[in-house]
Structure 1
């Protein structure tokens, strides 16, 4: 399997590249970046044979089997579509795009061509997610009627990349970190159908500060939300609350978790615990400490390769599921912008 990487940033170098190389029979043959010096530096530093600045040239010359898209969100659609048109399987970083209509087109083209399109929602591949999804399928929690998603940072505006640019990223903490918890929750619950979403978002801190625990930024260029809080009503009567922030005056430095409440038991994803109540006393049904090693990135990319090679891999975030998650993100933003609920 010949792999080409689009984008020469940290995610490409520290996540995608080593995990492709750890799969026997896979070779990374090219890297593309719009800045020639960055592409050449990436290739030389990582012993990759070819560097390109022109996407069409790279696809036609190298004829890769797989393309990894590691570019700013705005460019995902173009890069994915061109790779699919060149008959390549595609692994794209999250989010799928910045518009649900684009995510749908990407999924439709992949299906038409019989190609694998997947998104790197690596939290699906945590040991906690695997265990909890199985417990939910076994009915241990019963009917899940309330879920709370948290992707919160007290002082975590990214001070690098393009994370404060709405044009390039499509939004702030919801589309950057909240989307991971959205995908994991829906994956664990088997993608229940959504009735409507309602959200509020705020920009109270980023434009008035210039530094935090994640680095420094230019307040004049801060265009995204600091925080977004939303609710998702399901057609089965269930309710999901989502809280996301880059900057928020709260006690904890950060919180990344999903909590489930079912009619038989409740659960927390990080750390993984399943619990119930007996005669007013908390009873722990299952618990697991943090994993000794975190193999999420490796498992995500290796599962994608398995699928490309013809396995019946069910855990990858495929094009259809990526489209559903993108619709949720877009609807939450739209609700917050217009001050009304969005029905799906």
Structure 2
């Protein structure tokens, strides 16, 4: 079966990254639906006339709309991607879920700006039997799936601590990092955040101290994204270490070995580096969504994951505001 798909939001992740000469893989929603053999991109939607025209022309889409309600009523897509700015996600995802033709929604992160809104979307999708997935893209990358198996098999022994670096908002990019930690290491149970940068707006970039299951502690360092982009995660175990850098495109592996510098000492020595494994993530997300529609399985990144990641971000924001640690409640 070929599913009718539509993209709402024709910006970078919706379409424009496909024209970046440095991006060689399938990194946009429009590109993924156009390439996937089980989907047909039948409509695109954006309030910006220029972006809408360029996107429709780029992918050869006949039907273009500046209003999601018109698009849903006229084209009746079965899958809808929401790729618009973060504050618009809740209303647009809700509108898509409510449409009689829609069977699945692939949302860009965060799912919403508030946990109660995310919960509302999750419950609504459940009632309507709509598959709700969130594009925390590293879950769909082969290198990260392999890394998860490696860590779960004891590849670096018992995990002792994690640390990371990010920028561009606790909800916007911070939830990406929280999701990756949950995917690779375990659940985050307690946070204490600090507003060191004092950024304006409703999504400041915080520094966050974290406590996880199995007595694992971590720290996430925030940076001003106007200076540079950064997304890194360092995982240290009793037998080794994995360092993720370049937004996930590079992984460096270390293992405990005799120090080449000091007799009688054991050190974390590098033994392997992997590059280039994070490819076609949006295409894999679309393929996973199609598999869910065909089989009834859950997506690799569910609406429930979207809620959990947003809960951590919201707890961090409240922690920084109130000057205290906050323990996560069970969903």
Say whether the fold is shared (TM-score over 0.5): yes
**CA distance in structure 2 between the partners assigned to 1:311 and 1:284 by the alignment:** 45
How much does 1:36 deviate? 5.0
The answer on whether the counterparts of 2:240 and 2:268 sit within 8 Å (CA) in structure 1 is no
In structure 1, the residue matched to 2:235 is 260
RMSD: 2.6
1:239 corresponds to 2:214: no
How much does 1:227 deviate? 4.0
1:276 corresponds to 2:256: yes
Q: How does 1:135-214 map to 2 (within 5 A)?
A: 135-152=150-167, 172-189=168-185, 191-192=186-187, 194-203=188-197
What TM-score, normalized to structure 2? 0.81
In structure 2, the residue matched to 1:210 is none
1:99 corresponds to 2:114: yes
1:330 corresponds to 2:308: no
The C-alpha deviation readout for 1:166-207, integer Å capped at 9, x for no partner, is xxxxxx432232322221111012x42x43211011346x7x
In structure 1, the residue matched to 2:292 is 307
Change in 2 beyond 3 A, CA 1:294/1:151: same
The answer on whether the counterparts of 2:7 and 2:83 sit within 8 Å (CA) in structure 1 is yes
The answer on whether the counterparts of 2:34 and 2:59 sit within 8 Å (CA) in structure 1 is no
The answer on whether the counterparts of 2:103 and 2:129 sit within 8 Å (CA) in structure 1 is no
Residue from 116, 121, 133 that aligns with 1:118: 133
In structure 1, the residue matched to 2:87 is 74
The answer on whether the counterparts of 2:42 and 2:63 sit within 8 Å (CA) in structure 1 is yes
**CA distance in structure 1 between the partners assigned to 2:49 and 2:215 by the alignment:** 53
What SS does structure 2 have at the residue aligned with 1:12?
coil
In structure 2, the residue matched to 1:61 is 74
The answer on whether the counterparts of 1:2 and 1:65 sit within 8 Å (CA) in structure 2 is yes
The answer on whether the counterparts of 1:29 and 1:49 sit within 8 Å (CA) in structure 2 is yes
**CA distance in structure 2 between the partners assigned to 1:254 and 1:267 by the alignment:** 20
The answer on whether the counterparts of 1:226 and 1:246 sit within 8 Å (CA) in structure 2 is no
What TM-score, normalized to structure 1? 0.79
In structure 2, the residue matched to 1:9 is 11
**CA distance in structure 2 between the partners assigned to 1:198 and 1:283 by the alignment:** 29
Change in 2 beyond 3 A, CA 1:298/1:246: farther
How much does 1:40 deviate? 4.3
Change in 2 beyond 3 A, CA 1:52/1:230: same
In structure 2, the residue matched to 1:295 is 280
The answer on whether the counterparts of 2:170 and 2:204 sit within 8 Å (CA) in structure 1 is no
How much does 1:37 deviate? 5.8
Worse-superposed segment, 257-266 or 55-64:
257-266
In structure 1, the residue matched to 2:261 is none
The answer on whether the counterparts of 1:128 and 1:272 sit within 8 Å (CA) in structure 2 is no
The answer on whether the counterparts of 1:6 and 1:69 sit within 8 Å (CA) in structure 2 is yes
Aligned residue-pair number: 303
The answer on whether the counterparts of 1:202 and 1:225 sit within 8 Å (CA) in structure 2 is no
Structure 2: segments with no counterpart, 5+ residues: 19-27, 246-250, 259-263
**CA distance in structure 1 between the partners assigned to 2:267 and 2:289 by the alignment:** 40
The answer on whether the counterparts of 1:197 and 1:232 sit within 8 Å (CA) in structure 2 is yes
The answer on whether the counterparts of 1:69 and 1:92 sit within 8 Å (CA) in structure 2 is yes
Change in 2 beyond 3 A, CA 1:45/1:186: same
Change in 2 beyond 3 A, CA 1:254/1:44: closer
How much does 1:131 deviate? 2.0
The answer on whether the counterparts of 1:4 and 1:31 sit within 8 Å (CA) in structure 2 is yes
How much does 1:113 deviate? 2.6
Structure 1: segments with no counterpart, 5+ residues: 153-171, 207-221
